[in-house]
Structure 1
């Protein structure tokens, strides 16, 4: 094959690494949601990125304000403990606890913080179950202002 006919796999795309300065990892405090960190941490180390851990509390409805404050405090403490125990010392983390619909809150945070990548776990529902229950991960993938890495829960 002549040199003139060889083409790059990238075609007309500029060959440069993506800029990953902020990686968002939504957590629901299940062991399964932490699997996303297996992928986020090495990327954060490689690119010297900051990891943003976020937990979304359900819409409080008629829950007393004191109880909502207590739930936020407990969730923020858990995120802090997870940062200390699951993230290497050189990986910088920011933690946020939001209230409302998870997909909406995660997407809003991604836009506000100019997140470069969202790494999340999915339950892998399909068919009627997905239609009836809905999928937070799917909504995030459809509307995210940045790339999304989906890790299937195992």
Structure 2
């Protein structure tokens, strides 16, 4: 039976991501595991050709990064009330790839993340981070379905 020592919770700060976070916290407490929290700023959206070169671009990126750090800090503070071993990570890149890199770097035993339940054209255009992580991860992945 898998007894995770290091759990990676992937947050995009959405409502469904919060559900996954509650489950990740519960698992970490149950197994007395370290809890790692990651948010990946998706560079596919930040590097849109229409934004590059605009004076606002640099400020927009800084603003997104600052807000992500604030939200990660809030999650960490909330989780640390219930367990001390919480680390946060902020990355920029393609979310699925960055999640997998961090999982490898940190020797993660379990990844927990939400899904948005997109289908059809929306799924094709946006892609599925959760699907990519499930397919490519070297450890188990628990996905939490949205409650649409």
TM (norm. structure 1) is: 0.78
Query: CA offsets, 1:53-82, max 9 Å, x none?
Result: 111112253443x65455333312211112
Query: Which one scores higher on RCO, CA 8 angstroms, separation ≥ 6?
Result: 2
Decide whether the 8 Å contact of 1:45 with 1:91 is kept in 2.
no
SS of equivalent residue, structure 2 residue 14: coil
Work out which of the two has the higher radius of gyration on C-alpha atoms and give 1 or 2. Answer: 1
Q: Does 1:115 align with 2:99?
A: no
Runs of 4+ deviating beyond 6 Å: none
Correspondences of 1:1-154 after superposition (within 5 Å): 17-59=1-43, 60-61=46-47, 62=52, 63-64=57-58, 68-86=61-79, 88-154=81-147
Distance 2:122 2:80 in 1: 34
Higher helix content, 1 or 2:
2
Residues 1:90 and 1:132: Cα distance change in structure 2 (over 3 Å): closer
Aligned length: 137
Give ranges in structure 1 of 5+ residues lacking alignment: 1-16
SS of equivalent residue, structure 2 residue 2: coil
TM (norm. structure 2) is: 0.81
Give ranges in structure 2 of 5+ residues lacking alignment: none
Residue 84 (structure 1) shift: 1.7
